[in-house]
Structure 1
Amino acid sequence: MSDLSLIFVAMAGIFLLLFLVIRTKLHAFVALLLVSLIVGIAAGMPLSGVIESMEDGMGGTLGFVAIVVGLGAMFGKLLEVSGGAERLAQTLIAKFGEDKAQWALGITGFLVAIPVFFDVGFIILVPIVYGLAKKAGKSVLYYGIPLLAGLAVTHSFIPPTPGPIAVADLVGADLGWVILFGAIAGLPAMILAGPIFGRYIASKIDVGVPDYMESDDDEPKKGYDKELPGFGLITSLILVPLVLILVNTLSDLLLEEGNTFRSIATFLGHPFVALTIATLLTFTFLGTKRGYTRQDVQDIATKALEPAGIIILVTGAGGVFKQVLIDSGVGDVLGNIMIQSALPPVLLAFVISTAVRLAQGSATVAMVTAAGLISPLIDTLGLDGPMLGLMVISIASGATVFSHVNDSGFWLVNRYFGLDVKDTLKSWTVMETIIGFVGFGVAFIISLFIA
């Protein structure tokens, strides 16, 4: 089949994927599998070869992603149930003072979203936003936007959250580089999109706590089963896997192969081992040592895998799509065209991810689709090491910008803050776009020095 025909097949496949997800509301997992089948057959692959590619793509992806996302979900669920997120917020607000509560909420969101899913972290912490807004007589956005910015930055940029985990696996990036560049790009993004933009937009949109969120104020609020855990314990548990993974990456960079410390760091810093250690520590110090039975801990961990399962399957289907593109020869043709586009790889990754994000709304689907499309370019150019980490941040940045009415996060914020669509666009959408462009800008600047 000619290169032109393969390009037509690839473009038709992408449009079909968007149509199935947007118009027919077909679940992204099924849509990705169906499009992979059609692209493989249309590209002239043997029928048995299509099936083999699908098996290889699913197995190769889930071998890494399922373990990391599953462990991260259990880790985060126990943090949620124990009141760890609440403790972080309370302590940081007390340390910063209520006059600087914006910064405290931004940092809280940044830390909480490392192990806890974005929407869960927001729902847990939004009552604190309501309380501060009522006490200070300020717009809910004054405190809400910084919290959302912190949550959104980490959700997009820093493993073990599912998005960057999925992209890192699909493009072959080392998680240490992703964590390092995610923090470097994420902190300025959180500051600009959070406290700074939050102060500005709160002066333009004065909105109080929605009436329907205050209806049960006279009823006693449900507390946590146990006393809240300590701040030091929570931050230590969150940092354990990040530090182990970073030490692994740095030891590979600084020490010679065969060095004993490097061998130990490589083992302990592998995401499987690092997250297993962190999860076991969480089970112990937030679970059994705080009065939960082993059965309680098991039930909490099992419950955590329900939302994780959906993310794992969608990511696996993204791996299938990537593998079919590569095995059919479409990937090589796409990679050559991308090289000839004269756009730097980091910019190209951002543009592709942004286009998919705008069209269908889901950040996770945008990340997975963009990573599948960009992976042939990575193989062709021979990109490795820190450049792959920057590619992950660039893809994640593109999947963050321009959140609008086709994104579930848009409606979550719309409801909890009692905004109309216009004001949600002015606040949430602009905040997400600031995060995406700042993250991409930092990644692009760094890429100029290490390319």
Structure 2
Amino acid sequence: MSVGMALLLAVVAIGVVVFLIERVKLNPFLSLFIASVLLGFAAGMPATRVVSAFETGAGDVLGQIASVIALGTMMGKMLEVSGGADRIAMTVVSVAGARRVDWAMMLIGLLVGLSVFFTVGFVILVPLAFSIARQTRMPLLHVALPVTAALSVVQGYMPPHPGAMFALAAYHADVGRLIWMGAVVSVPAAIISGPLYTRFIVPRLPADAGAAAASQHGRDTPRDPAALPGFGITLFTILAPMVLMLAGSAVRFMGPIGDGWAAALRFVGDANVGLGLAALLSFWTLGLRRGLTKEKILACSNECLGPLASLLLMIGAGGGFGAELMASGISDAIAHAAVEMHVPLLLLAWGLAAGMRVAVGSATVAMSTTAGIVAPIMAHGHGVSPELLVLATGAGAVMFGPMNDSGFWQVRDTLGLSVPQTAWTWSVIETLIGLTGLGMCLLLGWCGL
């Protein structure tokens, strides 16, 4: 297949996905499935091969990350139900003081965001931001924007969030390396898009921006501190899976070691095992020790898994789309063209993800589609760290915060902003996260990591 034809088919397939999601309003899973099948037929693949390629790609991806996402969701639900997020917020703010409340909220967002999706974290923490703004007499946006930025940073760059886990599987990255490299990228991205930009933009917005929303939450009653879990045990529970995965990764990079402890660390450092142990730990530390019954914990575990069905199907379809590109030979043709044109792979991944973000709104769809295209190119010997490629894809996928992104409207409605004010806050924050992430990836790549 010629390079021109391969590029044309790839562009048309992506256009079909965008059209079906944005214009026809089809579910992303069905849109990706239809585009994958049409792509296979257009490339001249036999019908049986079209279907089997999609099934194989979807199965491979879901087999690696479905349980990780489910376990992480259970853990996040326990953090929400127990009031662990409230405890972290109260402790960090009390230590930081009113003058540094924006930095405190950024740290809270980074910590809580490790265990919950952006939407859930926003719902949990923004009411706390209303309360803290009232207590400290700070403008609402000065308190709420840094935590919003931090939640978005973690969603884009850190496992076990869906987009990062999909790209990790597609690029065959190491989860331990991704965690520490993601932390290196996340911290400056959160600082620039959170406290620094907040201090720049809030004085330039109308004085009443967010005031109406703040007044509506004026009667919120904070949870009784005595009923919340301790800060130390909550933080230990949140960080436990990260520590286990980092330990397992460190042992793997030490080479073959016959010691039993090394084998045990490799086992518990697996993403599935580590998150499974952390989920069980959260049932005890944030559940049974806080007086929750076994029946209540079971109900919470079951309740949080229901909304994952659509997300997992979408991720699986992204894997099927990528497999279709590979089986049809389209990805090979594009890979050879990229190699010959010497396109930096980090920039290619970032640009494709940013384009998909604008087109479909969803960062997860943008990451999954981009990873399906870029993964075969990486296999042609570009010498790029797969972990950096995951982060560059995530940086592109959070760019712009367009109006077809559900987060845009969630921020607007919750904080009581106008559309232009939301663009100057949420959309610019997302753009700063993406640009800072790209810059950090290029810097780390230049350093040889």
TM-score normalised by L of structure 2: 0.95
CA distance in 2, matches of 1:417, 1:438: 25
CA contact (8 A) 2:395 2:438 kept: yes
2:205 is equivalent to residue 207 of structure 1: no
Read off the aligned partner of 2:272 and give its amino acid letter: F
Q: Which of 418, 427, 436 pairs up with 2:416?
A: 418
Q: Distance between the aligned counterparts of 1:132 and 1:286, measured in 2?
A: 24
The alignment status of 1:336 with 2:336, answered yes or no, reads: yes
Which of 427, 442, 445 aligns to 2:443? It is 445
Question: One-letter code of the match for 1:66?
Answer: A
Judge conservation of contact 1:70–1:305 (CA < 8 Å) in 2.
yes
Map 1:30-429 → 2, pairs under 5 A: 30-205=30-205, 206-211=207-212, 214-215=215-216, 217-218=218-219, 221=221, 223=223, 227-381=227-381, 383=383, 387-429=385-427
Aligned length: 448
Name the CA distance, whole Å, in 2 between partners of 1:33 and 1:225: 49
Give distance in 1, aligned partners of 2:29 and 2:270: 28
Residue 45 of structure 1 aligns to a residue whose secondary structure is: coil
TM-superposed CA distance for 1:261, in Å, is 3.4
The answer (yes or no) to whether the contact 1:133–1:208 under 8 Å persists in 2 is no
State how far apart, in whole Å, the 1-side matches of 2:256 and 2:213 are: 61
The one-letter code matched in structure 1 to 2:98 is E
CA pair 53-383 structure 1, distance change in 2 beyond 3 A: farther
CA distance in 2, matches of 1:357, 1:75: 28
Question: What is the distance in 1 between the residues matched to 2:192 and 2:360?
Answer: 26
TM-score (norm 1): 0.95
In structure 2, C-alpha distance between the alignment counterparts of 1:150 and 1:304, rounded to whole Å = 23
Aligned-partner Cα distance in 2 for 1:412–1:285 = 31
Please state how far the C-alpha of 1:272 moved relative to its aligned partner. 0.8
Q: Is the 8 A contact 2:210 2:417 kept in 1?
A: no
Shift of 1:446: 0.8
- 1:211 Cα deviation after fit: 3.3
CA–CA distance in 1 between the matches of 2:157 and 2:354?
15
| CA–CA separation in structure 1 for the residues paired with 2:209 and 2:9 | 51
1:8 is aligned to 8
Going from structure 1 to structure 2, the CA distance change for 1:226 and 1:279 (only over 3 Å counts) comes to: farther
Letter in 2 for 1:247: A
User: Secondary structure of 2:149's partner?
Assistant: helix
Deviation by residue 1:98-146 (Cα, 9 ceiling, x = unmatched): 2111111100000101111111111111122223333444432211111
Cα deviation, residue 449, structure 1: 2.5
> Which residue identity does 2:394 align to in structure 1?
A
| Mapped contact 2:334–2:377 kept (Cα < 8 A) | yes
- Tell me the secondary structure at the aligned position of residue 380 of structure 1: coil
Change (3 A) 1:329 1:366: same
Distance 2:161 2:447 in 1: 27
Give the SS at the match of 1:401: coil
User: In 1, Cα distance between the equivalents of 2:133 and 2:213?
Assistant: 16
- Name which of structure 1's ranges 250-259 and 85-94 shifts more when overlaid on structure 2: 250-259
Counterpart AA for 1:121: G
Report if the CA contact (8 A) 1:207-1:418 is conserved. no
Q: Post-superposition shift, 1:202?
A: 1.1
Q: After TM superposition, give the deviation of residue 4 of structure 1 in Å.
A: 3.2
Cα shift at 1:5: 2.7
Deviation (angstroms), 1:372: 0.6
Counterpart residue identity of residue 51, structure 1: V
| Residue in 2 that maps onto 1:433 | 431
Query: How far 1:358 moved relative to its partner?
Result: 1.5
More deviation in 132-141 or 418-427? Answer: 132-141
8 Å contact from structure 2 (residues 335, 377) kept in 1: yes
Q: Displacement, 1:11?
A: 1.6
Deviations 1:336-394 (A, max 9, x none): 1222232211111111111111122111110111111101111112657xx00000000
The answer to whether the 8 Å contact 2:130/2:217 transfers is no
Matched residue type, 2:419: V
Q: State the one-letter code of the partner of 2:263.
A: S
- Unaligned residue ranges in structure 1 (runs of 5+): none
CA distance in 1, matches of 2:438, 2:150: 17
SS at match of 1:355: helix
Runs (5+) with no aligned partner, structure 2: none
Deviation of the 1:209 alpha carbon: 4.2
Q: CA deviation at 1:217?
A: 4.4
Q: How far does the alpha carbon of each residue in 1:277-318 deviate from its partner, in whole angstroms, 9 at most, with x for none?
A: 000001112112221111111100011112222221111100
Q: 2: distance between equivalents of 1:215 and 1:418?
A: 10
3-state DSSP class of the match of 1:450? coil
Q: Percent identity?
A: 35
CA distance in 2, matches of 1:359, 1:256: 46
Q: Which amino acid aligns with 1:317?
A: A
Kept in 2, the 8 Å contact 1:130–1:209? The answer is no
